[in-house]
Amino acid sequence: MTAGPGTRVHTKRSIIGWDVGGAHLKAARIERGQVVDMLQVPSRLWLGLGELSAALDAARARLGRADLHVATMTGELADGFENRREGVDAITTTLAASLAPLRLYGGRAGFLDPAAIAGHETDIASANWHATATLAARHLPAALLVDMGSTTTDLIPIADSQVAAAGYTDAERLACGELVYTGLTRSFVMSLAERAPFAGSWTTLACEHFATSADLYRILGELPEDADQMPTADRQEKTVPASIARLARMVGRDGADADPRDWQALAGWFAEAQLRRIADAASLVLSRARLPPAAPVLGAGIGRRVASRLASRLGRPYRDFGELPETSAAWAWLGHCAPCVAVALLADPGEGPGRAA
């Protein structure tokens, strides 16, 4: 078949894209350029590489075999590794033991064979944001990509159909506002503010890991189903009353000390504090990128509802990653798993530049 202008020809082979995080393993199976399955599995890399091996086994049991595996990662930052280079090498070795053929996404370096990653560890490390932004830039001439996951939020400008990020490494991106270490489920509440308004006064917070951002959004009724896959701070239930009990400890109280509406108001205040932090970083990024006023916020990750609120705060339209032509499908989790979807689509030989060998 001959392709007409603008038509992309997809091969019949299957591709599985993998995103190896420090807390979760995400994967998406692509066939003929379409998403046919995806999943997220807990993988607490700080406990050792056995966590990743077990997560890979669980994912492969569901996703099956594939003609090509492509992987990106952020898990090299796990404190079980002495440094990022060691983390990239160890994760690559673990992946290669289970997945074949395998290519690593090196962002600016393209796709790399596992045997050829020496000297490219900095390109591979935490490059999952680059895959999502590169795919988005194929469809949007200008946008602010906001990918809010469980732990971090990426803020990536797209201008003239190109990724216009000022930073590449985590250190560079933290410095320029393109990476904010706050997420929908795993952020410690004590990291969001030094004090909070409660019972008519400002209350200093307990500097303890009593509650997480998952508790906030659970109390507010805004936590996506299955988004919180990590144990709670106190190892107790994932219910609204249990989340209230954990939040109450942050202000030195018990859940019974106030009305549920008071705890909901406090959770809402912390959620607003988190949004303000992201909005401040977005303002810094936009002050440099100078995107057109009509350029949308493109939301991805489990925190897309927060990204939508950010769009309103910035006075910009909102679009969802799952609405892009190559990603639109009836998958509730598609936007949650943007990097693994993106890296698989970028590796499709029918998808143009950046193809995997």
We report the CATH number of the domain holding residue 234 as 3.30.420.190
Q: Who's near 332: CB < 8 A, 6+ residues apart? A: none
Residues 280 and 175 in one domain: yes
Going from the first residue of the chain to its last (357 residues), give the mean pLDDT of each consecutive group of 10, the final group possibly shorter.
Answer: 33 87 94 88 95 97 96 95 96 97 97 96 96 96 97 97 97 97 97 96 97 98 89 96 98 97 98 98 96 97 96 97 70 77 87 39
- 9: in domain: no
- Above pLDDT 70, what percent of the chain? 92
| pLDDT tens column, 88-116 | 999 999 999 999 999 999 999 999 999 99
- Predicted pLDDT at 348: 83
Residues 178 and 217 in one domain: yes
Residues 95 and 153 in one domain: no
- Predicted pLDDT at 335: 75
Q: Who's near 193: CB < 8 A, 6+ residues apart? A: 205, 270, 273
Domain span at residue 75? 14-131+325-351
Do the strands 179-180 and 153-159 form a parallel or antiparallel pair, or are they unpaired?
Answer: antiparallel
- 91: in domain: yes
Nearest to 306 by CA among 222, 228, 187, 188: 222
Helix (H, G, I), strand (E, B) or coil at 112: strand
Tokens standing for residue 227: 């988004």
- Predicted pLDDT at 326: 64
Residues 110 and 163 in one domain: no
